[in-house]
Structures are given as C-alpha cells and as structure tokens.
A and B are shown apart, each in its own frame.
Chain A
Amino acid sequence: MKYALLILGMAVITYGIRSAVFVFGERLSFPPIVRMALNFVPVTVLTAIIVPMTFAPHGGAAELTWRNSQLVAAVVAVVVCAVTRKPLLTIAVSLAVFFAWQMIV
C-alpha cells in the first residue's frame, strides 16, 4: 500500500515535468548551462546504478574476478553494443553469456 504513494509521487513529478512547458509556455526558459547539465544526466544516472550491481553483485567488496558472471557479461555487453549499436542484440548476447557463465563457473 505504501508503494501506491511512491508511485503516485513519481507520476505527479513525471507529469509535471512533461507538461510544464506546454501549459505555461513562454514563461519557462532554459539557460544553456542547464541544457548542458541535462546532457549528462542519463549516462551518469544509469552508470551509477549498474556499477555497484556489476562489480559487487553480492554487496560488500568488489569481485574483480572472472568468476563474477555479472562483470563478465557486462563487459561483453559493452563490447557488443560499442561494435554493433544494436540494443536488442546487446541484451540478448550478454544475457546468454551471463546464464552460460553461471552454469560453467
């Protein structure tokens, strides 16, 4: 039940952001510095979320070994995506590597 509040809050925030300019129009303006900052938001947020999950999948210290299937598969994902630029292929290949690696190690 408490999650309903969380989700409602997320919905209000998201709707507010999306509609503000359409509704209030010209009264809002965005200095170039804000635009510049926004450019970096997606990469930093997403990276900040996955790095701890990848390097320390069980919490605690970093597991920098070839036995860490999260890390191995994540490296594969980065390489596949950098080479092919295909999101679906990236996800499919790295998931396959991930599950295979878990069986082998």
Chain B
Amino acid sequence: MNSTHQDRQDRQVHQPGNFAEFGAGARDTIPMMVGAAPFGVIFGTLAATGPLHAWSVQFMSLAVFAGSAQFIALGLIAGHASFAVIWATTFIVNLRHVLYSATLAPYVAHLPARWRWTLGAFMTDEVFAVSYAHYQRRAPGETGPYYFLGSGVSMYVNWQIWTVAGLLFGSAFPGLQSKGLDFAMVATFIAIIVPQLVALRFVAAALAAGVLSFAWNDWPYKLGLLAAVVVGVAVGMLLSMRAKNSTDSTQGRAQSPKQRPVEMERAK
C-alpha cells in the first residue's frame, strides 16, 4: 500500500480540519458519555467491593474498555468461574464489534495501517453509533480518522473517570455489596435486555438461556452459563429461520420442515 502518498493526501484534505473533526466527534458523543456515566460508576462501585484490587479494576477499564464484558467478568469472578470461561464469554459478548467494524470498514480502508490498528481499540457500541451516523453521510474514501478518534477518545476518557468515581464511592461505603448492590448489575442488565426484546424470537432466546442457566447453575466453572447461551442462541436462530421460511416459501410450505435441520447443521 502506498501509505506515504495516501498519508500526504490525507493531510492535504484533512489537516485544516483535523482538530475540528476531532472536536465534532467528541461533541456528538456527549449524550453517549452521559448515558455511560452511571454504568461506569456502578461498575467501579461493584468492583471496589469485590475481590479485585482497585488498580486491577482501573486496569480493566483502561485495557479492556468494554462495559458489558467488564460487568460480566465481575459477575463471573464473583461466581468463581475459570479464566477460560471468562475469556470465552468476553469473546462471545464482544463478537458484535466485528459487525460494527465490518460496517465501518469502507470508511477506514483507505487510511494508513497505523490508523487502522489504532481506531479499532476505541470501537464500542456508542462510538460505532456516533461515528456511523457521521460517516454514513459521506463518501467512503473521503473520510478522515479524526472524527472517529474524537468520539473514541472522549468515550475512553469518560469511562476512566466514572470508573474512578465508582471506585472511590465503593471504597467509601464498603457495606454496599452486603446490602445488595449487586442488584444494580441486575437492573443495569435488564435496562439493556428489555429494549432488545423486539420480537418473539428474542424473548424465546432469552427465556431459554435464562431458564437453562438457572437449571445448570451448579456446573463447574460456570460452564452451564455458556451452554445455556448456546442453546438460547440456537432457539433464536431456529425461530428466525422458521419466520424466514414461512415468508419465503408461499408454495413450498411442506418442504420447509425438512430444510430446517440442514440449515442448523450448517450453523455449527
């Protein structure tokens, strides 16, 4: 790749507005920063009352920078899950970011490698939402990295600040955990889950995962949780295919039940 040429071209196009672009990205992210603040505080507070040292908690926010994965790790650590299960869960939970970067890829593909290595680190749900809304209105190949960077860096700094605030709050009131602050995590997750239950298949997937996770709660290393998730996802996919089949095939309805197992095989 002729990155020096590309780089120069980039600067010519974007240099006058680099700072402005960065600022615009940061400004457009402010509502997301406000929304993430309570999650950061709750994360820090919960973590402060758990087995992790404060510096480990901050290190997690600094190095991982993925709210839901961090929350889940806390819950799994408290449940004495093995590292392998926590890593596997981190992988599964964060896989959605692949879709985000695939969506944004046309807008960064022309950038030099160092930018592409950097920007990925800042990809969160919020940064994706803000950046995509911005880049969508522009032609791929004419977009600079600074808007994304501004959004990502401000989200990152925001997350660190609220983690610290939560850690301070949690260590000031060490009794919070025993008073049931872990319910804050339940409430947080419900607030994330419910808006996603937009169709019956999501409700069914969640129900399957929830019931089985409870039934298999005493499996070692929290493996029951992973198994429950796999079944829940399978239920969701089965229902999606069924919905698709019944809308796709007006003439071949008798055929569709036979197709389903084949498609499930392919899914694995």
B179:A102 contact, CB within 8 angstroms:
yes
A contacts, CB < 8 Å to B: 3-11, 13-15, 17-23, 25, 28, 30, 33, 35-57, 62, 69-70, 73-74, 77-78, 81-82, 85, 87-88, 90-91, 94-95, 98-99, 102
Docked-complex contact B237 and A37, CB < 8 angstroms: yes
**Bound Cα distance from A7 to B83, whole angstroms:** 9
Q: How far is the CA of A43 from the CA of B210 in the complex (A)?
A: 10
Contact present for B95 and A41 (CB under 8 Å): yes
A74 contacts B91, C-beta separation under 8 Å: no
The answer on a CB contact under 8 Å between B75 and A47 is: no
A52 adjacent to B214 (CB under 8 Å): yes
Q: Give the contacting residue for B266; candidates A19, A33, A54; CB below 8 A.
A: A33
B interface list, Cβ under 8 A from A = 35, 38, 42, 52-53, 56, 59-60, 63-66, 68-69, 72-73, 75, 77, 83, 86-87, 89-102, 104-105, 108-109, 113, 116-117, 119-121, 123, 179-180, 182-197, 201-202, 205-214, 217, 225, 228-229, 232-233, 236-237, 240, 263, 266-267
A contact residues around B206 at 8 Å (CB): 43-44, 47
B190 CB to closest chain A CB (Å) equals 4
Number of cross-chain contacts by CB at 8 Å:
256
> Other than the known A30-B98, A38-B99, what 8 A-B pairs have Cβ atoms closer than 8 Å?
A21-B102, A22-B104, A22-B108, A44-B232, A48-B225, A62-B214, A77-B186, A81-B191
The 25 sampled A-B contact pairs (Cβ below 8 Å) are A7-B56, A7-B63, A9-B90, A10-B66, A10-B87, A11-B64, A17-B91, A18-B120, A19-B101, A22-B104, A23-B113, A36-B237, A40-B237, A44-B232, A46-B193, A49-B189, A50-B185, A50-B190, A51-B214, A62-B214, A81-B191, A85-B194, A88-B191, A91-B42, A91-B188
Contact yes or no, A44 B209, CB < 8 A: yes
Q: Report whether A53 and B182 are in contact in the complex, using a CB–CB cutoff of 8 Å.
A: yes
Q: Write the nearest CB–CB distance from A87 to chain B, whole angstroms.
A: 4
When C-beta atoms are compared, the residue in chain B nearest to A43 turns out to be B206
Main secondary structure of the interface of B (DSSP, over half): helix
Give Cα A85 to B193, complex, Å: 11
In the complex, what's the smallest C-beta–C-beta distance from A32 to chain B, in angstroms? 10
Q: Chain A contacts of B207 at CB under 8 A?
A: 47
Bound CA span A78–B186, Å: 10
Q: Choose among B38, B185, B214, B236 the residue that contacts A56 (Cβ–Cβ < 8 A).
A: B214
Chain A residues with CB under 8 A of B96:
38, 41-42
